[in-house]
Chain A
């Protein structure tokens, strides 16, 4: 293998580094690297490795580009929305460096295809977003004898290490037991900032280049912990390979890939799945909610609004302080009755919980305040579900007899937790199936999703 004059000119700035030189560049050109996940971490990993002249670059992803990816997944562009991520990434990479051989693996890695997919590559880079796939990649790398360059990011935080390299630990040495699914926060729910994934992905690419060109890494048996908010970087020493590890130990019990979805009790993606915690008769659809809001007699609405001037003003001011453009359509198309403070205003309607009950609706939005601040339904009142236990009296006062307390959140999961809690305390209420995402999908497309 040799380097053309064009290649020498292209890679000159890295080739003149004493540690790299011509031998290092040739090693990079001979290397094959698999980037698993072409998202926030995979974008910079793939771009830096391609531009550095890696010989073969494999790209694994099963997803398509969404507009909510682009703030951090900077390899993808607006005109790629809806396109498979591997294709979108390959096109961007080809523009940057046409010398590299790119291989698209547009698939969801699982126990049936992982070994065949990983086998042709020298180094595997874990840029995935979920626990089952991280265990899958770890076990496949151990079984195939390949190093795994692992990065992860959430909120302002990041973690980086290299597993199964130079007698360092594998993922299972550190974490023999997967975390309980309810303790795992994904980027959809926890949020993440682009430069955080960008920084961790850049560091992963740096380790790959050192491993390929120099045969070493600073992070075998060590882990970098990044706190992007505090600007704090800390490297800690990890345990070595564990003799009793189930996969890389002296007497391994895992000799082939297993069912990682079952092992982790979680799906191999970072999507939040809908849960069903409470009975159907404690739930209403967004269309039911829309109808109920419209069905409230205007007189009742006017009466309670007048009767409850104080609380109305308070509720309205909460709303207007953060309402976005997107909520105005909902305001026009629905009549939301405000919180009555006296039962007299609501008395004529205080008969039952039947579906067509014309009783005034009180909307309790149980999302975190930061999400409420992005957008909310007019006149909805924000009490985060985690705060409910300490704010029960407040909620009781919001919804006296004769009103219907309707609890909603982003997707209809936390609202069920809230309803279960409130009913435990004797507070009658229902939740909205699918939450505000369903409201946006089925009732008011102008209501923003995030």
Chain B
């Protein structure tokens, strides 16, 4: 189990039943499991509607920014980032309105 803090904003929360933040114990191994494992787990266990608006292939769909502990996940290896206990992972839908 690895305990993670997941946050959703910019409209992403609407796909997750309106939840903006949730602490979850994910049945994955800390240090070994990666974001590549977390995304399908979230899709299967947390997502409330329309999986195509969350994932595209094995990653998030275009227009979603992922942050790991307040940094762009690209800086952390994106899909290959190894999850640690208490990581905070944020999923943000980019906004275009003005």
The interface of chain A, by Cβ under 8 A from chain B, is 37, 39-42, 126-131, 134, 151-155, 157-159, 174-180, 182-187, 190, 192, 197, 223, 225, 227, 230, 234-239, 270, 386
Contact = CB atoms under 8 A, between A and B. Distances in A.
A180 B75 CA distance: 25
A239 B75 contact: yes
Interface string B3-46: 00000011100000000100000000000000000000000000
Contact of A42 (B67, B74, B98): B98
A234 B70 contact: yes
Contacts of A129: 96-98
Nearest to A232: B9
B71 A179 contact: no
Which 9 residue pairs of A and B lie closest in terms of their CB atoms, listed nearest first?
A179-B63, A177-B62, A152-B95, A239-B74, A154-B97, A41-B98, A187-B97, A129-B98, A237-B71
B94 A179 contact: yes
Contacts of A157: 9-11, 95
B65 interface: yes
Given A175-B94, A197-B98, A183 B63 contact: yes
Contacts of A184: 63, 96
A127 B96 CA distance: 9
Given A153-B95, A183-B61, A225-B10, 5 more contacts: A41-B98, A155-B11, A177-B62, A180-B53, A386-B49
B98 A183 contact: no
A229 to B, nearest CB: 9
Contacts of B9: 157, 225, 227
B93 interface: yes
B72 interface: yes
A131 B94 CA distance: 10
15 contacts: A126-B98, A129-B98, A152-B94, A154-B11, A154-B96, A159-B10, A159-B92, A175-B62, A175-B94, A180-B62, A182-B53, A197-B98, A236-B70, A270-B96, A270-B97
B93 A183 contact: yes
Interface in B67-98: 67, 70-72, 74-75, 90, 92-98
A223 B74 CA distance: 14
Nearest to A186: B97
Given A179-B61, A179-B63, A152 B71 contact: no
B14 to A, nearest CB: 9
B10 A154 contact: yes
Contacts of B96: 128-131, 134, 152, 154, 184, 186, 270
B62 A190 contact: no
Contacts of A234: 70
Interface string B44-67: 000001000100000001110101
Interface of B: 9-11, 20, 49, 53, 61-63, 65, 67, 70-72, 74-75, 90, 92-98
Contact of B71 (A151, A187, A236): A236
A239 B72 contact: yes
Contacts of A177: 62
B63 A178 contact: yes
Contact of A152 (B67, B90, B97): B97
Contacts of A192: 97
Nearest to B67: A236
Nearest to A173: B74
A360 B20 CA distance: 44
Contacts of B49: 386
Given A237-B75, A239-B72, A386-B49, A159 B62 contact: no
Contacts of A186: 96-97
Nearest to A45: B98
B63 A175 contact: yes
A42 B92 CA distance: 23
A268 to B, nearest CB: 11
Nearest to A158: B95
A144 B62 CA distance: 26
Contacts of B20: 227, 230
Contacts of B11: 154-155, 157, 185, 190
A126 B53 CA distance: 26
Contacts of B93: 183
A39 B63 CA distance: 23
Contact of A37 (B71, B92, B98): B98
Contacts of A134: 96
A270 B98 CA distance: 9
A158 B71 CA distance: 18
B91 to A, nearest CB: 12
Given A179-B61, A179-B63, A183-B53, A225 B92 contact: yes
